[in-house]
Each structure stands twice: as structure tokens, then as C-alpha cells.
Copies of this chain bind each other. A is one copy, B any other.
Amino acid sequence: MALYNISFIGAGNVAGSLAAGLAAAGHRILSVASRSGDSARELASSLGAEWRRDLTVPAECDLLIISVSDTAVGTVAENAVISPGTLIAHTAGSVPLAALGRSSGAGVLYPLQTFTKGFPPDLSQVPFFIEATDSATLNLLREIGESIGAGAWECDTENRKKLHLAAVFTNNFSNFMMTTGETMAREAGIDPVLLRPLIGETARKALRTGPEAAQTGPAVRLDTGTLKSHIELLSFSPQYQKLYRLVSKMIAGHYSKKKK
């Protein structure tokens, strides 16, 4: 496996996880830059890298990874000072490759995972989705994704946006359903922490068979009595009633279509 010199602009949860993973895989982290100082300084020092406040990247850098907020990617790419031999990539699901403003030497390295400060995910399980302006950059990103993750899959900007949307449903929306479950438990005077084992088993079940096969409950079995009773229990909130009706209808529709 080829080893590379890599710099970061950005020092958030994604940058922190990737930098640590890259260093562990033998790559060398040259520098970490960010306007907000502390997290970058901490990350740089933990990896024996240089901490920078400006956007100048060491000349021997092979790949600059820009891991900042979606709206900042373009400006950072424009203002980064790099050598002709340095490639640049961002890590955002929703940001086009074109935002980097280059016709060569630019790419995207999107990890399909949620990153939490202090709890880095197991990178070896994370699939990376890559796109690039040219095959040399694509190959380097493929090597990087394979060296630290579950592998690298080519995916253009449009499909990467769809994948990001898939991640919103899988992570953000399912998480909100669990939060709603907690709200209902509180309505019943029950400590929501007692729902945690159900959260765990819900994921284990979905991981075993995929979520589509794991579906149970009143909507999929068209148990109209229970559906009606649940809607009555939600009479304190027309919005929760609307949510319950819509999701139940979609579940019923999804599975009745499959049976046909």
C-alpha cells in the first residue's frame, strides 16, 4: 500500500476521525489548519502534525482534505495555498465536486457514517464514496478509502446527494422516531431510559435481516383497531397524529405493494 503525506483543513468530528485513522494506517499527517484554534491544535498535537492558523499547506503534501461545513468548502478551496503536486478533496455528502473549483487534481472522499466527538466509529466498517476530476486523483482516493475504511465506491455528485439523503432517513429521522418514543413514554409517566433495550434490539434486528424484512407492528399487519386507538392516544397533538397517520399509511402501502 502506498503511504501519503496528508494535510487537513478543518478539525471537527469527521476530520478528527479520518486523521486518526489515516495516521494509524501509516499515512503521515503533515498539518491541521482551522480558524477556530483549539480543536485543530489538539488534533495536530495528537498526531505529531503541524498546527496552522492560515491555509498554506506544506509543499510535500500529497493530499489536502477539506473537512469543514458544507457552505465553507468552496471558499476554503479557493483560498488554500498548495503546491502544484498537491491534490485536494472534500468529505461532504451534499457538496458537488465542482465546489472545489478545479478541473484536475480534485476529488471527494465521502464517508457514509455519523461522527461523534469522543466516540470515533470503527472506520474499518465505513464505506467511502469517491469522485474525482481525473483518474489519478480517483485512484489515490480509492487507495485512501481502502487503507482506512471498508472500501471505496465510485459515486457521482448527484448520487452522492441521494446517499446523503438516505443517511438522513437512516440516521436523523429514525433517531427522531426514537425521541418521539421517549416523549410518549414520558406521557405514560415512564422513565424513557426503559426504552433503551428496545432501541438496541431494533438495530440488531435491522442489521440481521435488513430493515425491510425486520418490519413488524400494527401498520404492516393492517391492525386497524390498534392504529385507531393509537391515533386517539395522540389527540393531545394534531402534528403527532399526522405523523402517525402518514408513516402508518406509508408502511402499509410499502408492504402491500411488495406482496402483489
Residues of A within 8 A of B (CB): 70-71, 94, 112-114, 116, 119, 121-122, 125-127, 129, 150, 153, 155, 159-163, 165-185, 187-190, 192-208, 210-212, 214-220, 223, 225-226, 229-230, 233-234, 239, 242-243, 246-247, 250-251, 253-254
Contact = CB atoms under 8 A, between A and B. Distances in A.
B174 A175 contact: yes
Contact of A171 (B150, B167, B198): B198
A239 B249 CA distance: 10
A177 B153 CA distance: 24
Most buried by B among A163, A171, A188, A193: A171
A222 to B, nearest CB: 13
B114 A205 contact: yes
B170 A112 contact: no
As for how many copies of this chain the complex holds, the number is 2
Contact of A197 (B113, B129, B187, B210): B113
Contacts of A229: 94, 161
A139 to B, nearest CB: 20
A188 B169 CA distance: 14
B175 A162 contact: no
A171 to B, nearest CB: 5
10 contacts: A113-B201, A116-B208, A165-B230, A166-B187, A166-B188, A171-B181, A171-B198, A179-B215, A196-B210, A239-B253
Given A159-B190, A181-B166, A247-B243, A215 B176 contact: yes
Nearest to A126: B197
A9 to B, nearest CB: 20
A63 to B, nearest CB: 23
Most buried by B among A121, A159, A183, A190: A190
